[in-house]
Structure 1
Amino acid sequence: MREVNAIQYVANENGRKINSKRTSVEFLDKEVVNKVRCFHKSFPEYAVTPLQSLNALAKKLGVSSIWVKDESYRFGLNAFKVLGGSYAVGKYLAERLNMDISELSFEKLKSEEIKEKLGEITFVTATDGNHGRGIAWAARQLGQKAVVFMPKGSSIIRLNNIKNEGAEASITGLNYDDAVRLASKYAEEHNGVLVQDSSWEGYEKIPTWIMQGYATLIDEAIEQIKDEDKDNPTHVFLQAGVGSFAGSVLGYLEAVFGEDRPITTIVEPNEAACIYKSVKANDGKPHAVTGYMPTIMAGLACGEPSTVAWGILRDYADMYISCADSAAARGMRILGNPLADDPKVISGESGAVGLGVLSLILQDNHLKEMAEKLNINKDSKILLISTEGDTDPEGYREIVWDGMYPSF
């Protein structure tokens, strides 16, 4: 397989060492996450998303179990992002009302009484699509306004999905990180509220709330595995853009399991591998990838690590992988064309990359060293998160039907 030339990795030799200076994950502990889940359960649309067991694929790849958490079912929005955005919006409004979020259901936030107290609010964000759609949905539900900026090259379908939620949305000529700066400037000039899952010095409260919101999905997944009377996963693969999603899941796993947490691998596209680049620099600091980032993994095309997530990813992950777009395409095809009785999972480019990389690690003899470093063997139980469905249906068909971005 030629794919080996397009996969690079760095192992974290310090990730399992006990160190009192490591980043705190208390903000993602079980008590906090229980409160987050209670808020999400107050949504009429709330339902636990499926945890699919790919037993035939696990057998073929030589491991014990492969689970895929399918977030294409989340709130009818085809992606997980609404979990973070809705919780952050809820926390912001609770703070404005001098109330704890445990006192506010989503239905109560939608009431005329609350709307009169709050007045008109404009939520502003930058997005490749999924996060912005979640913010637009939450704003519409609450009778508020949303303004959304998208980076250069964004999907027209994703743009229209955001507009269909009532938001003012546009595709800029900027990369993702510059679109974030534009959104921040707009919010400041128009008395809006920036709701961004990336963080930087001076802007960390709302991104922290977003990370807490994302934790609902991993709490569900661990609960679902227990309901199957199965042991906890031994390995987790997490895709990263700015790192907020990956940092949320990894922080939860550390908070709940401590040193018994699963071996965790962070996966990024070659064109936007800011976490990989930062770890490789080996100075403990986040480093940016600049310029245009032409990857099919639009949700991961982010050049600057989130400051809230960075410390968690640096201190607790076990391996960092940078991969080609073809790895994501391979994952999409595997999930969309299951073996034997395995369920079909429709996963978008950013959602499928973890499985694509895992399959290459286990099937390419040139990558055996990676499998050995990760201690993946016949007893391994591996959890993957498909963070989105076919949020760009045309792009999905070009890859799955027409074979774009082949592995060979």
Structure 2
Amino acid sequence: MCKNKLSGIKMIYRSNREEVKRSKFPSFLTIDKLEEVKSFHKTMNNYKKTPLVNLNSLAKELGLRSILVKDESKRGGLNSFKVLGSSYAIAKLICKRLNLRLKDVNFNYLKSEEVKNKTGEITFVTCSDGNHGRGVAWTAREIGQKAVVYLPKGTARRRVEAIIELGAKAIVTDLNYDDTVRYAVKIAQENNWEIVQDTAWEGYTEIPIWIMQGYAAMAYEALEQIEEMGIKKPTHMFIQAGVGAMAGAVLGFCVNYFNGKHPITTVIEPVNAACMFRSAEINDGKPHGVIGGLETIMAGLACGEPILYGWEILRDFSDAFSMCPDYVTARGMRILANPLENDEKVISGESGAVGTGFISLIMQRKELTEIKEKLALNQNSTVILFSTEGATDPVNYRSVVWDGKYNIPY
């Protein structure tokens, strides 16, 4: 484990990438599986690929060949990638109820009165820090159904309002994320509601897998866009993790897409919610949670219990795990909001900018030279990052970008 004088940043690095048998490649995240996901998303009225922003000037400043940022603030007016998972999972769920194949229907058909008459009234329930709940609420509204979203304590007011504006019921608890999940499940079971959650437990695995497949579509888009740009495949990927559903989905798809020769991958988490880091540190192959309030401005990553499927992919195929204090993502937010020269501006929220902040510090701070060298980051490196949300908490966004909140402890 690497430690350094720049407060709070720690990393576990695997010095030699192990060859993993193809039998361990995640079978639910193959190109064929993602073709079905992509085909469904294309039938949604608001669907279009989000931009892949090429930050050439920033790359030059940091001593890299390229930095590519997938900008999910442009995702169908919902300010986050999460709707990719919720929409696909809910569509699969309805098709299962009606004994239909998803590839034989489209989103408009699922919105039809015919479908609603057959299914009756459905209430979808979930726990969310805001973004996943917004995706569930949007999908439920579009197909004429109901949604109830439970949010953990401390959820920003604007994130709650965004869910209510989509016609869902939003309830903020006095619990942390993981306990709110358990509470939401209890209420859903008591009311015979349909749970749509991107974490899994015994007896609840199908919907989380569908959600992860939906999330992986973000990576599929990005890799197609890289090819369209004529850029060589990324050498490095930095992906942030909460429960690990998104990170596992992105990495799992890349493993299949590149036939095991995927980019050097670092998993990033907040210091107080670093369950993947802890699992890697214990190193017994099993997922391990962290407890406590999980305090961080990276609300979308404030999760203490890994999803098994995500953890297994990250365990088997990632190259490093890092935990980062809040000042890392704050720096990333400021960098993306204040582009160099001809680079495009990216509005990135607290859970979206941590990769940008991390790579900037690795390349510029002497205290992190060891990490840079172990990850083989240099002028030949092409880095891909996923800015998974926009300014979903505008008040805090301004505090960070305008007022310099959460500055680096020099």
Give the match for residue 298 of structure 1: 299
8 Å Cα contact 2:55/2:69 also seen in 1: yes
Instruction: Report the equivalent of 1:45.
Output: 46
Q: Residue type matched to 1:342 in 2?
A: D
Deviation of the 1:158 alpha carbon: 0.4
Given the alignment, which residue of 3, 11, 14 partners 1:12? 14
SS at match of 1:351: coil
Specify the alignment match of 1:245 in structure 2.
Answer: 246
Cα 1:219/1:339, change in 2 over 3 Å: same
After superposition, residues 117-128 of structure 1 pair within 5 angstroms as: 117-128=118-129
Contact 2:268/2:323, CA 8 A, preserved across alignment:
yes
- In structure 1, C-alpha distance between the alignment counterparts of 2:64 and 2:231, rounded to whole Å: 14
State the Cα RMSD in Å. 1.2
Deviation by residue 1:238-274 (Cα, 9 ceiling, x = unmatched): 0000000000000000011123211111000001000
**What amino acid is aligned across from residue 122 of structure 1 in structure 2?**
T
Q: Structure 1 segments of 4 or more deviating over 3 A?
A: 19-24
Could you say what secondary structure the match of 2:404 adopts? coil
The alignment partner of 1:361 has SS state of helix
Cα distance change, pair 337–3 in 1 and its aligned pair in 2 (3 A): farther
Q: Which residue of structure 1 aligns with residue 269 of structure 2?
A: 268
- AA matched with 2:217: T
Q: Is 1:403 equivalent to 2:395 in the alignment?
A: no
CA distance in 1: counterparts of 2:243 and 2:226, whole angstroms: 28
User: Is the partner of 2:340 in helix, strand or coil?
Assistant: coil
Conservation of the 8 A alpha-carbon contact between 1:361 and 1:368: yes
Q: Is the Cα–Cα contact under 8 Å of residues 25 and 255 in structure 2 kept in the other structure? A: no
1:205 aligned onto 2:206: yes
Matches for 1:182-201 after TM superposition, within 5 Å: 182-201=183-202
Letter in 2 for 1:269: P
Change (3 A) 1:388 1:139: same
Q: Deviations over 1:31-65 (max 9, x none)?
A: 00010000000001001100101000000100100
Q: Assess if the C-alpha contact under 8 Å between 1:54 and 1:65 holds in 2.
A: yes
Give 1:201 deviation, angstroms. Answer: 2.5
CA contact (8 A) 1:201 1:307 kept: no
Alpha-carbon shift at residue 369 of structure 1 (Å): 1.1
Structure 2: how far apart are the matches of 1:345 and 1:376?
23
Q: Aligned partners of 1:267, 1:376: CA distance in 2, in Å?
A: 16
SS in 2 for 1:38: helix
What is the CA–CA distance in structure 2 between the aligned matches of 1:132 and 1:116, rounded to whole Å?
A: 25
Q: Superposed, which structure 2 residues align to 1:312-327 within 5 Å?
A: 312-327=313-328
Matched, 1:96 2:89: no
Q: Which residue of 2 aligns with 1:236?
A: 237
Q: Deviations over 1:140-198 (max 9, x none)?
A: 10110101100010011100110111111111000000000011111111001110011
* Alpha carbons 1:72, 1:389 under 8 Å: kept: yes
Could you tell me how far 1:199 is from its partner in structure 2?
1.3
2:185 aligned partner, one-letter code: S
Q: Compute the displacement of 1:19 (Å).
A: 3.4
In the alignment, the residues of structure 2 paired with residue 3 and residue 129 of structure 1 have an alpha-carbon distance, to the nearest angstrom, of: 34
Unaligned stretches of 5+ residues in structure 1: none
Deviation, structure 1 residue 3: 6.9
Distance, in Å, in 2 between the alignment partners of 1:372 and 1:206 is 40
Tell whether the 8 Å contact from 2:12 to 2:322 is kept in structure 1 after alignment.
yes
Count of equivalent residues: 406
Secondary structure of the corresponding residue to residue 352 of structure 2: helix
Per-residue deviation, residues 341-392 of structure 1 (Å, max 9, x unmatched): 1000000000000010111111111111111111111100000000000001
| 8 Å Cα contact 1:204-1:308 kept in structure 2 | no
**What corresponds to 1:29 in structure 2?**
30
| Structure 2 partner of 1:383 | 384
Alpha-carbon distance in structure 2 between the residues aligned to 1:368 and 1:258: 31
* 1:283 alignment counterpart: 284
Q: What amino acid sits opposite 1:222 in the alignment?
A: L
| TM-fit CA distance, 1:275 | 0.3
Q: Is the 8 A contact 1:23 1:311 kept in 2?
A: no
C-alpha distance after superposition, 1:92-149 (max 9, x if no partner): 0111111111112111100111111111111000000000000000001011010110
TM-score (norm 2): 0.97
Query: What is the rounded CA distance, in whole Å, between the counterparts of 1:3 and 1:18 in structure 2?
Result: 33
SS at match of 2:266: strand
Q: CA deviation at 1:72?
A: 0.4
